[in-house]
Structure formats: C-alpha cells, structure tokens
Amino acid sequence: MSNSHDSIRAVLWQDDKLLLLDQRLLPQQEVWLEYTDSKAVAEAIHQMVVRGAPAIGITAAYGVVLALRQQLQQGRGDWYARLQPDLKILGEARPTAVNLLWALERMGNRLQSLSPDEADPLGLMLAEARAIHDEDIAANRRMGELGAALISESGCAVLTHCNTGSLATGGYGTALGVIRSAYAEGRISRVFADETRPWLQGARLTAWELVKDQIPVTLLADGAGAALMQQGQVKWLIVGSDRITANGDVANKIGTYHAAIAAKYHGVKVMVVAPTSTVDMSLADGGLIPIEQRSPVEILSLGGQRVAAEGAEAWNPAFDVTPAELVDAIVTERGVVRNPTTEKMREMMNNQ
C-alpha cells in the first residue's frame, strides 16, 4: 500500500501526553490538543474532539494511563479500586460505542493483574494501551484486504456514510481502509460520500481524508444517495459500525439505515467493516443497543448559527440500527460473514 493513500493519524501518545487532532475544526484548521488528565479525555470523547468507535476505545485506553499516573502521584495503595471512578467517567462518555467499554475492560483486567508492589505499573499500562492502538491498525489493514477482495468489479464507484477512516480509528480505517485498499488495487475509481448531518463527518472529515490521500471523492447530500443508486452509479455501500449485535444487526451513524434500505431496493450491495471489538455477542439483536441521544441544538443550528424556526423542536439520535437482512457482508479482522445470522456471527467470533 502506497503511503500516499495512508498519511493520516488522529490519536498520538507523545512526550508522556495524549495528543488528539481536534476533529471539530477540520477541514478549516488542523489543531492538536494535549491531554494529561483522564477527565478531560472523557470530555474530549463526549464533545467529539475524537470520534469513531475504534478511535474512542484507543483514546480511552490512553485515558486510563493518565488516570493511573494521577493516582500514583498521590501514592500507591490499591490503584485498581481508586481508579474505578475514573473508569466510570470514561465509560459514560459515549454509550453506544462498544469499543469504548471493550478497551476499558481490557485495561481494567490488565490493572487487576498487576501486583501491588509492581515496579513500573505505569509503563506496563502504557504498553497495553499502545498494544490496543497497534492491534487496531493491523486489524484495519487486514480488513482492508478482505473487504477489497469482495469487490469483483473493476474501477467501480462506491458510496460511504459518516467517517470510517484514519480519523475514526488508530489509523488506515475500517470502511475507508477497504476503500484505500480497493483503490490501490484498481477495484474502485471514485468514492461518493454522504455529507452526514448534523456533524457533517462526511463533508468535513471523509472528503478531507480522501483528498489528502489522493483518492477521488464526490460529496452528496444525505438525501441524494437513493437517486445516485437509481442511476446505477455505485455498486457498493461501504460503512463502519459502532456496535454489531449477535445476530448481525448494525448500529452506525444516523442515516445508515436509510442508505441501506435504498441500497437493498436498487440492488447495491452493503458492506459493514468493523473490528471484532465492535461485536457485542451479549446483545441478541439491535433493539437492545443503547442509542445515544444528543442535544437538539446540533439539529437546530449549523456552525453556531440557528437555522431552524424559533419554537421548532428536534429529535437527534446519534445512531440508527440496520437489520442484518439488509447487510450483504460484515468484514472483521477475523474474516467475512456474508448474509449475517447469529450462527454465522458466533462462528466468526470463535475463529481465533
């Protein structure tokens, strides 16, 4: 893979600090924010300085490192018990993204495994956070290969929704990782990207990433996707996910369900790309996924300016659930599940 198609990283650990590229300011400004406090990291997750399920999990893992450092500065003692309030605050920052809870559980298990007289608990926990980060990038590259192989057409166009690239992950991306790989192999010639209201992740982030990595991109309003499909312009809808349930139902950015229905009607295939840390086998179906409700202000305003009539109310779920029967393939680092069912999902998750 040419580095020209993979030049972006949004989460860094540098000089004993967590650095986050402030995605709220893209594409107009590229501003890096520094964090040394775990509560500030939780607020950064909630305020969408960082977003995308894998990136949220990685950021939370580094947040645990910062919390531990703060506790150690106050004395050693039982650091696991003392860290519980910090872990709770991090865990409540974005409830739908299961990667957040997965990363915190993994970091918590590592904490529990440390002996009270461990010489360098901070170093060991930082190594665990870095491992989560490195494993995510490796998983994304593997998913890129697997997903690209599903695209049998040569030089076709695809549609994507929200942002699933390096900005949403440790690097390379999930759905955009597949797109990067497929573009490098000549399977994709152009990407159509939904603008993704109300935060405009498609317009601000996906388009920025693809332009920066020299992949042709055309932006469209969220409501234009069905007309694009009707004209036969795209062969695949490729998206990520914040949580996938045991039966293959998929929670993703609001508007994904809408796009998947249109894809089904027009014979466009739907590919969902996400690491296995996104799969929640404890939930039987998508109806059990907690859906984050965000402030009505995000719908009623744009760029800080009111755009809706005064007195109008707004409904602002951050995610919707696409039923498994609308999904042609779920791609993870462990393999591909075609036409997902509970049995197929279980088999994939047991494939170590």
The residues carrying an active-site annotation are 242
CB 291 within 8 A of CB 252: no
Contacts of 321 (CB under 8 A, 6+ apart): 249, 250, 251, 257, 286, 287, 289, 291
CB 45 within 8 A of CB 93: yes
Taking alpha carbons only, the member of 20, 39, 47, 45 closest to residue 31 is 20
Residue in the structure block whose two tokens are 């300085």: 49
CB 60 within 8 A of CB 100: yes
**β-sheet bridge partners, residue 320:** 252
With 0-12 / 13-18 / 19 or more C-beta atoms within 10 angstroms meaning exposed / middle / buried, residue 287 is: exposed
In order, the DSSP letters of 193-240 are EE--TTTTHIIIIIHHHHHHTT--EEEE-GGGHHHHHHTT--SEEEE-
Distance CA(351)–CA(332), nearest Å, equals 11
CA 203 to chain centre: 16
Please tell me whether residue 311 adopts helix, strand or coil conformation.
Answer: coil
In order, the DSSP letters of 162-177 are S--SGGGSSSS-SHHH
